[in-house]
Amino acid sequence: MNTIRKRLLAAFLSFVMVFLSMSDLFTAYAGPPGIVNDPDIIAEVTYDRSVVNSRGNSDFYVGEEVSFYANITVSSITRSIPGAYGKLYLPKKIFPTVNATNISTWINRPSTNYLNIDSSSDTEYHIVKLKFNNLGGGTTQTVPFKGKIADFSLANNESYVIPYQVYDANDTLLESNNNTFTAKTYPIGYGNEDYNYRRSYQYVQGSSDLQSNNSLSNTLSTYVDFYTRRTNWPAPGTYHGTSFPQVGADRRKTRVTVQLPANENFDTTDSRNAGWTYDPVNHTISKEKNYPSNTYTSEGFHIRYNNQPTGTVNSPVEVTFPIKWEYVNDDGTTDPASLEKSKSFARYASFPAIPPTDRGVTAYKSASPWYLTFDDREESTVHKYDISTTWGWNTGTPITYPTLGQKKGRLFS
C-alpha cells in the first residue's frame, strides 16, 4: 500500500514540475510581471502636460501621435538607487513600430548603452529599457517619449495600458505601475443628410437601352455612386458630420447600407457589384469594411430595374437611394451614436432621335498684293490668291457619320 502511495506521490510531483515548467514558458510571452509596490517610489506614465495644455484637452484620437512622460519619483530624500533602470512596456497592437526616434534623450543617463528597445522577446509589448546613473531621493526622473496610435487598434473610448517598472542595479524589481489611457475615434458618413451625389442618364428613343419610348430596358445597368467621409460625431438628433478630421479610424467595421427602390433588379453576378450583400426581401445592399483615418472616397454599385419609367430631358424621373453608415459592435449590434445618413440620386430621361444635318460646303477666297524685289532686277508685283473650304456635318443622336464619297459640289464656275 505504501509503495502505491509513493508511486502516486512521485507521479503527482512530476506533473507539478512539468506544469511549472510550462507556466514559465507561457509567462515569457504574457507581458510584464505583476504589480510590485514600493511605498517610497512612484513609477507612472502621463501625457505630456505641455501638449495637453496647448490643445486644451487630453482627447487623443486613433491615428494621432501622442506625447508621454515616463516619470519615476523617489520620495525619501535619504534614499539613493545607483544604476537603476526603468522598463516601459509599449503595446504592439497600439504602437506597432517603436525605435530610438520615439524616445527623447534625458539627463542623468550613462554615456553609452542607456537605451535598449526589445521588440522580439514578448509578443504583446515592445520593452524599452531606460538606464539612469542614479535615482536620487526627493527628485523625479522624466523621460519623454511618443507613439502614433495605429489605425483600427481601438474602438471609441477604449482603453489601453502602458506598464512602467523600476529596477535596481541588481535587476530587482522595486516598483511597477500599469498606466491606463483612453483613445477616441470618429465615425464614417457624410456632411449632408439630404444630398450626397446625383448622376443623370439620357437615352435616345429606339435604342436598345429602352424597352419603350418612356421605359428603361430591364437589362440596362447604370452606375450609382456616393461619397464617404470621416466626420466628427453627429450632434444629438442629427445624422451627419459638420467637420472632416483626418484621424480616428475605429477598429470596428463600418456597415454601409443602401436602400434600393421596390422595382430594383440587383444583379449579384455582376463582378462590379462584388463586396455588396444583397437583401431581396428588404431591397437593400450592404457591406462592412474598415475605413482609414483619412477617408474621402467615392464608391458605388451597378443597378438594373424592372420597368423603370423615364422622363424627358427637361423633366427626368429621379430615383432616390438612401444611405446609412454605422459602426458594428463586437456582439453584432450597431452603435447608434455613429449612425449617419445621406441620399444619392439617379435621373433618367429619354428623347427622340435627332437626325444628322448636312451644313453644306463653304468656300473662302482672298487676294492681296505682295511686293518682292529680286536683287538688282526691277520691282515686280506678285498677286497671291488663297482659296479654302469647309464642310459642316452634325452627326445627330444617335451618332450618324456621312458616307464616303456621298457629298459632291462645285467650288467655282
With a threshold of 0.85, does the pTM exceed it?
no
- Cβ atoms 349, 203 nearer than 8 A: yes
Using the 8-state DSSP alphabet, how is residue 384 labeled? E
DSSP string, 165-221: EEE-TT--EEEEEEEEEEEB---EE-S-SS-SEEEEEEEETTSTTEEETTEE-TT--
As a residue count, the chain comes to 413
Q: What are the beta bridge partners of residue 22?
A: none
Q: Which of 203, 204, 200, 201 is nearest to 355 (CA)?
A: 204
Q: At residue 333, what is the residue type? A: T
Distance CA 24, CA 16 (A): 12
Q: What is the dihedral of CA 94, 96, 102, 106, to 10 degrees?
A: 70
- Tens-level pLDDT at each residue, the chain (413 residues): 444 443 444 444 444 444 444 444 434 445 566 788 999 999 999 999 999 999 999 999 999 999 999 999 999 999 999 999 999 999 999 999 999 999 999 999 999 999 999 999 999 999 999 999 999 999 999 999 999 999 999 999 999 999 999 999 999 999 999 999 999 999 999 999 999 999 999 999 999 999 999 999 999 999 999 999 999 999 999 999 999 999 999 999 999 999 999 999 999 999 999 999 999 999 999 999 999 999 999 999 999 999 999 999 999 999 999 999 999 999 999 999 999 999 999 999 999 987 778 777 777 777 666 555 555 555 555 556 667 777 777 777 777 777 776 666 565 55
CATH class of 188-351: mainly beta
The domain limits of the chain are 32-183, 188-351, 356-413
- Cβ atoms 285, 257 nearer than 8 A: yes
Distance CA 39, CA 159 (A): 26
Indicate the fold that domain 32-183 takes in CATH. Immunoglobulin-like (2.60.40)
Distance CA 218, CA 264 (A): 10
Mark out the alpha helices in 28-123 (DSSP H runs). 49-55
Q: Do domains 32-183 and 188-351 have the same CATH topology?
A: yes
Phi, psi of 399 (to 5 degrees): -60, 125
Strands (E), 231-379: 254-259, 277-279, 284-289, 296-303, 317-327, 340-351, 357-372
All three cell numbers of 189, joined, read 458618413
Q: Is 54 helix (H, G, I), strand (E, B) or coil?
A: helix
